[in-house]
Structure 1
Amino acid sequence: MAGQNALRAWPVERRDALPLALWSAGEIAEATGGTASHEFQISGVEMDSRDVRGGDLFVALKGEAMDGHNFIAKAFANGAVAALVDRPVDFPHVLVEDTTVALHALAHAARERAEAVRIGVTGSVGKTGVKEAIFAALDRSSRGSAHRSVRSYNNHVGVPLSLSRMPARSRFGIFEMGMNHAGEIEVLTQHVRPHVAVITTIAPAHIEMLGSMEAIADAKGEIFGGLIEGGTAVIPADSEYCERLVGIAKASGAKVVTFGASPEADVRLLDAIPSANGGSLVTADLGDTRLCYSVAEPGEHWIANSLAVMAAVRAAGGDLGSAGLALAEMGGLKGRGARHQIAASGGGKALLIDESYNANPASMRATLRQLGHTPATRRIAVLGSMKELGDFADRFHAALAGPIGEAKVDHAILVGEEMRSLARELGKGSAGSLGIPLGFAHCDTPAEAIAALEELGINAGDAILVKGSNSIGLGTLVEHLSSRDG
């Protein structure tokens, strides 16, 4: 009887009356100004017919080279229940004048109907990892009511698509925003209209397009322009561009919260010591309280990331205890720090560190530093070119010789045209971990790098770091090495 009374007393909220389906045909038509051909309900939204799953709405976008309408039949074969189209088709659909405009309208409708606290994340390095950590923290504390952009859906299509996927019952929404030109984040942040906007760090990524570090900081600072009234800007206190970012944020009317090791930081690092699992035990001062928590991800950059996560979670009204648990349990993301034990020649295991998705000078230095702290019989670095550095490319690539030496790398395999400048620098003579000249090879393609690595051999106890810009294709090398354990 007591149990029945407890059930009757369970609090009923307004959001409990919201639909369980993501969208109905009528809701999509109302949001987009379109006309529905049938009644239907959907559970997801997808723009790539290859990724469509059962229950999805397929959005037939038109690009310069491709027209999504040509893939509608494939989308329905893969399980789509309806399509968003600009011409009548022989499938359930919502007909609109322009599918891109309609997607934006659907995204805005999703934003407005949910009472979710929205967090926007950008930065030159670490934005995907920080976005995932904030999501893990808020999803835990809200019991599964957090939503986030998946993969790196952070551009002019990915952000509105991610918004359109946000369920009406969401309590939190976390969205990543990327750019390679000025003005791009300004558009994205107006889609999201975040309550909290986070900049992880400022580094020379996309400097080819922007020309200077100050321009990069300004472009990232565009995220503050979309903050709702009274929103919070989370800014790295240790960045030399902190004051510049604070100025941009305050000009937008934002409340500012800084994080870092700086004595002036609002979320301030007090101490960080290595933990047994390769991560860190962090103590932080949040002004009115102190926290001690574990970070599973290795590296000094993840200590800084964790402070950004704590600042964002607190600003969003989340639970700091849940944030600490989430950071303690996070594993590396594919292409962004995932670690694999792979079979070594002659038996035993070697460690493969997969950082193949992205690279810029700051992230290269950070991951090489972590490689240097990784126990290993040999340290092998497979490094791909860093893109979008323009006239700075030769200088930034050659400058990696120092971090490679400091990390006590025993052998380096360099992949891509831009890595020739680093090969020339290493050719001047650098010592490996045993004082022996560093061995290195330059390759044009991932296939050549695989051959060079196989010729070198993989021994038990080796630590192999694979890092480069995604366009170099080092993910194929990671897949090849991972298959050794199959």
Structure 2
Amino acid sequence: MSSPSILLGLTLLATLSPLLTFAHLWQVKEWRWDRLREHLWSEGYVRQIIGTLRPLLFVLFGALYLVEALPKESWPASLLIAFLALSVVQVIMHRQPSPVWTQKAVALCATALIIIFAAALVMDPVTLPILPLLAFLALIVAWTLWWPIDRALKRRVFARASATRNRFDALTVIGITGSVGKSTTKELLACVLADRHPLTTPAYVNTEMGVAQWITQELPRHPDPTILIVEMGAYRRGEIRLLASVIRPTVGIITFIGSQHIGLFGSQETLSQAKAELLESLPADGHAFLNADCSLCLKLKDRCKCPLTVVGTGGPADLEAYEIEETTGGIRFRAGSVLFQLPLHGTHNVTNVLLAIAVAESLGMQREAIAKKLATFSPMHHTFSVREDHGVTILDDTHNASPTSVEAAIAWTRGQPAESKILLFSGLIELGEELDRTHEELGSLAAPTFQRVIFLNHRSARPFTKGFGRSVEILSKISQKVTPGSLLVCVGRIPQATIARLLP
């Protein structure tokens, strides 16, 4: 029989792998319970929390114990060693996820281990092997214990960021929100206003906490900033209002309102109301800008108490684009008498460009000067960017994904000359009850355009296949490489190494 100290050590070691895996997942979801819950509902609770092999091992060793093929004295140690061996294999195969070791991750994981240690001290040795399967509960308890302190620390960060912002009364703050197009519009504005040296939130920094920390660190480094461009994301009502109370925007842009994250908001109406919080936060002498091509954006016009400019490509608008065309080098259109041509693909991006033009004009720039600046625009990597690699044309839209962005990728592909068109798709998340219906509709939309579709997982592939009308592939080590001359359309969170595996 193994000594209690050895069993305790084996228990802690066997618990590390599932604990780190769950911590990694939760950190990706920004330690938010709502995002974690939506992910687990979509992808499967058991597989995401404890995997599939550990429960199988538990059942196997439990059966051996029940039929007395495994002595009671050796059962706990044998199963814990099996769990530990599985963890070692995961590490050797580089399949063991772990969180980025921020202070929060360290505190939560350390607290979870203390909870597991305390539980192991009072448990019957025969029941110790259950602890690796319950590591996720220890992390949830740890998160709950730290939550009041976390909230207090966040309030301090917000207060510090607000005080920093208030030191710059003459600062023009441009807030940008929307279901899609936020990052592109932000970068377009940064390009147009480059001579005024705007400060711009970096990639993936758009939550209230991320922006607040960035402002606290970045604004004091610049003695006399004039323009601040802030991307504003949200997962529930109140978050944009909170962020707006910190940054005090004077200009507000809503790029588009779709169904991205609708599983977290609960309804389209709630999502729209959350975006409207930016308009409501603008002062009377501020300026709002909306995309007239989006009916949900136009419905928010009455929420503005400041001047409003709407842009569009068809129908009444204060600034409208004409003669729109997609070229091999990007998009081209006319606004008034000025021709705009820039190396940005996808005609759906025209409204984003129009929003940047309208804001720049409101800040005193001439339209001809704006056109010259936009001609030098460098598109963001992995955001509807097009490149050639190993003889394959790649549309890389892996920065993020939404139903609207997938539809835009399909529409763009439809006009391309390649004979072989392949879609590599990660699937969409956080759509709630709309998840399956949305994938099925996207499958129907993609059917006439793509000869081959490759998914990263089965969950999203099943409803997509129903709409697509024929089978789709699940990416594996034996997936056939694409041939030179093909068009590979990559949409969703897809690692670049995964794309490279499919190239000739």
Normalised to the residue count of structure 2, the TM-score between the two structures is 0.66
How far is the alpha carbon of 1:64 from its aligned partner? 7.5
Match of 1:152 in 2: 204
Residues 117-266 of structure 1 aligned to structure 2 (within 5 Å) = 117-139=172-194, 141-142=195-196, 145-164=197-216, 165-166=218-219, 167-249=222-304, 253-266=305-318
Give the total of aligned pairs: 361
- Is the Cα–Cα contact under 8 Å of residues 257 and 266 in structure 1 kept in the other structure? yes
Q: Per the alignment, in what secondary structure is the counterpart of residue 385 of structure 1?
A: coil
Write out per-residue CA displacement over residues 371-407 of structure 1, whole angstroms, 9 at most, x where no aligned residue. 222232311100111001111111100001232134x
Write out per-residue CA displacement over residues 450-471 of structure 1, whole angstroms, 9 at most, x where no aligned residue. 642xx1x222211111112x3x
Match of 1:356 in 2: 398
Q: Per the alignment, in what secondary structure is the counterpart of residue 238 of structure 1?
A: coil
Root-mean-square deviation over aligned CA pairs: 2.7
Which letter maps to 2:320? Answer: R
Q: Per the alignment, in what secondary structure is the counterpart of residue 321 of structure 2?
A: strand
Match of 1:478 in 2: 499
How far is the alpha carbon of 1:247 from its aligned partner? 1.4
Residues 382-401 of structure 1 aligned to structure 2 (within 5 Å) = 382-401=424-443
Over 3 Å counting, the alpha-carbon distance change for 1:458 and 1:481 in structure 2 is closer
Match of 1:280 in 2: 331
Residue ranges of structure 2 left out of the alignment (5+ in a row): 1-98, 111-150
Write out per-residue CA displacement over residues 37-73 of structure 1, whole angstroms, 9 at most, x where no aligned residue. xxxxxxxxxxxx989xxxxxxx967897379xxxxxx
Which structure's residues are more often strand, by fraction? Answer: 1
- Is the Cα–Cα contact under 8 Å of residues 309 and 323 in structure 1 kept in the other structure? no
- Is the Cα–Cα contact under 8 Å of residues 203 and 362 in structure 1 kept in the other structure? yes
Residue ranges of structure 1 left out of the alignment (5+ in a row): 1-48, 52-58, 68-96, 344-348, 430-438
State percent identity of aligned pairs: 23
CA–CA distance in structure 1, aligned partners of residues 290 and 483 of structure 2? 43
Over 3 Å counting, the alpha-carbon distance change for 1:305 and 1:389 in structure 2 is same
- Is the Cα–Cα contact under 8 Å of residues 252 and 279 in structure 2 kept in the other structure? yes
CA–CA distance in structure 2, aligned partners of residues 339 and 170 of structure 1? 34
How far is the alpha carbon of 1:270 from its aligned partner? 2.3
How far is the alpha carbon of 1:153 from its aligned partner? 0.3
CA–CA distance in structure 2, aligned partners of residues 339 and 240 of structure 1? 29
Which structure's residues are more often helix, by fraction? Answer: 2
1:422 to 464, 470, 495: 464
Which letter maps to 1:461? Answer: G
Normalised to the residue count of structure 1, the TM-score between the two structures is 0.68
Write out per-residue CA displacement over residues 207-235 of structure 1, whole angstroms, 9 at most, x where no aligned residue. 11223322221111111122233111111
- Is the Cα–Cα contact under 8 Å of residues 232 and 240 in structure 2 kept in the other structure? yes
Write out per-residue CA displacement over residues 419-465 of structure 1, whole angstroms, 9 at most, x where no aligned residue. 21112332x34xxxxxxxxx631x2xxxx35642xx1x222211111
CA–CA distance in structure 2, aligned partners of residues 325 and 371 of structure 1? 28
CA–CA distance in structure 2, aligned partners of residues 106 and 319 of structure 1? 37
Q: Per the alignment, in what secondary structure is the counterpart of residue 65 of structure 1?
A: helix
Match of 1:461 in 2: 485
Over 3 Å counting, the alpha-carbon distance change for 1:329 and 1:388 in structure 2 is same
CA–CA distance in structure 2, aligned partners of residues 475 and 196 of structure 1? 36
How far is the alpha carbon of 1:481 from its aligned partner? 5.8
CA–CA distance in structure 1, aligned partners of residues 437 and 157 of structure 2? 42
Over 3 Å counting, the alpha-carbon distance change for 1:467 and 1:238 in structure 2 is same
CA–CA distance in structure 2, aligned partners of residues 316 and 207 of structure 1? 34
CA–CA distance in structure 2, aligned partners of residues 106 and 480 of structure 1? 46
How far is the alpha carbon of 1:332 from its aligned partner? 3.2
How far is the alpha carbon of 1:315 from its aligned partner? 2.6
Q: Per the alignment, in what secondary structure is the counterpart of residue 362 of structure 1?
A: helix
Match of 1:299 in 2: 346
